[in-house]
Amino acid sequence: MTVLSPGAKVDTYELSPGDMYFIPRAYPHHIENIGVEEIHFLILFDQANSEDIGYTGGLRAYTNEVLGAAFGCDPKFFENLPPYAEDALIVGRKNPVSP
Mean pLDDT of 15-43: 83
77: left (phi over 0), alpha (psi -120 to 50) or beta: alpha
* Average confidence (pLDDT) over 56-65: 74
Radius of gyration from C-alpha coordinates of the chain:
16
| Alpha carbons 96 and 69: distance in angstroms, whole number | 42
Length of the chain: 99
- Give residue 31's pLDDT: 82
* Segment 74-79 mean pLDDT: 88
Structure confidence at residue 85 (pLDDT): 56
Cα separation, 99 vs 93, whole angstroms: 10
What pLDDT, in 10s, does the model give residues 34-52? Answer: 888 888 888 877 776 666 5
Phi-psi sector, 94: left (phi>0), alpha (psi -120 to 50), beta: beta
